[in-house]
Amino acid sequence: MQPASAAVDRTPDLANSVLLTMRQLGVIALPRNYEIFYEALSGSNPELSLEIVSMSKRPTQDELDRIGRKYFAGNHASGIVEHARETLANELEEIASIIRNERSHVEKYGRMLDQTAEGLNGRLVSKNVLQKIVEVMSVATTSTIDHGKEVVNALSDKSNELESVKSKLEEYKRLANTDPLTQIWNRRAFDREIAGIYNSNRGVLFKALILADIDRFKAINDRFGHPVGDKILQSVADILRSSVRQDMFVARTGGEEFALIVEGASEDATFEIADRIRLLIEQTPFVNSQTGLHYGSVTVSMGICMASEAEGPEDLYSKGDRALYRSKVAGRNRVTRFSTLSERAGKSWMLYRKD
């Protein structure tokens, strides 16, 4: 048997193998995907390892989620939501039971009052009897008040428990909509946000889309390695997030691609926002803080489109991407407005190379 330190020493190699394998297969860097490949490559689950080997060369997220539900059911979305549903159902039933019990207690107290009132109606009772009645009613009243306080405390506890469940669901929702590498919104959140633009006429009139793509990112990865590429992605995301208002939507939509949804700005103002970000990224030194190695200038190409120029979310994204494509073919490191394209009414266009 190997000493415990052997397992610790092996961890960095295993982690690197997980990252490399996921990149080679084009797997999205989601926490649930890391979990699958970590277990598969560690060899602790032979069946899982065999299933990973038998997958297609470019597995879809649906395939990976199916495997995740099979081997890690308790750690995946459906399991988390189902557990929360059961917890909520149980808590609500206990609350209903507390309220039913309290209603029964109050009803009994009410009947006692009614019966006492009927018994005293039109009758003369001695002072001694009246005193005993008052004592009994006093005890009953005190008991009812104390029981009411217990109910309040019990409901307060249940409220705290429900808040805990709500917090867990909110945390899961946040994780499900956050890009794990850059900690900004992910493609899932972006798709929901861009669709929401067209829920009202006001959204269409006062919103715009900015798409950004890091120039020659593949060359950066090939020259310096993926860990450096990841650091650059994180730095660009930080620049995007810190250079706009806190309420502005910023997302990583895939690979080296980012998107911003601007609200309450004209096309000229949107262009100024995009160009300011572009310049800021161009002027930011990307240097290894430990070795001092300079990774060279990092630039982005950008395209913008006003929501009013598109018929819906897919059309808006397509037109923003066409403007981005024009920035690429025109020399990169620039911002292009969709409104300036001569082929604005065109439908077919070539995809640019991600290099």
Distance CA 79, CA 330 (A): 49
> Using 50, 70 and 90 to split pLDDT, how confident is the model at 262?
very high
Distance CA 306, CA 212 (A): 15
Q: Evaluate whether 338 touches 309 at the Cβ level (below 8 Å).
A: yes
Q: Evaluate whether 251 touches 190 at the Cβ level (below 8 Å).
A: yes
Query: Taking Cα atoms as reference points, which of 294, 304, 292 lies closest to residue 334?
Result: 304
Q: Evaluate whether 302 touches 328 at the Cβ level (below 8 Å).
A: no
Predicted confidence at residue 302, as pLDDT, reads 98
Predicted confidence at residue 311, as pLDDT, reads 92
Q: What is the largest CA-CA distance in the chain?
A: 106
Query: Taking Cα atoms as reference points, which of 269, 322, 275, 337 lies closest to residue 300?
Result: 275
Residue 93 vs residue 74, higher pLDDT? 93
Predicted confidence at residue 238, as pLDDT, reads 95
> Using 50, 70 and 90 to split pLDDT, how confident is the model at 118?
low
Report strand pairing: 207-214 vs 257-263.
antiparallel
Residue 282 vs residue 57, higher pLDDT? 282
Q: Evaluate whether 354 touches 328 at the Cβ level (below 8 Å).
A: no
Geometric angle at alpha carbon 37, from 35 and 41, rounded to 5°: 125
Name which of 107-116, 268-277, 344-353 the model is least confident about.
344-353
Predicted confidence at residue 217, as pLDDT, reads 94
Residue type, 313: P
Over residues 260-284, mean pLDDT: 96
Residue 170 is a catalytic residue: no
281-335 pLDDT, tens digit each: 999 999 887 788 888 889 999 999 999 999 999 999 999 999 999 999 999 999 9
160-193 pLDDT, tens digit each: 766 766 666 666 667 778 888 898 999 989 999 9
> Has residue 123 got a pLDDT over 60?
yes
> Using 50, 70 and 90 to split pLDDT, how confident is the model at 10?
very low
Residue type, 35: E
Over residues 45-67, mean pLDDT: 82
> Has residue 261 got a pLDDT over 90?
yes
Predicted confidence at residue 258, as pLDDT, reads 97
Paired tokens of 241: 């997030």
Catalytic residue among 193, 256, 257, 309: 256
What is the model's pTM? Answer: 0.57
Burial of 224 (0-12, 13-18, 19+ CB in 10 A): middle
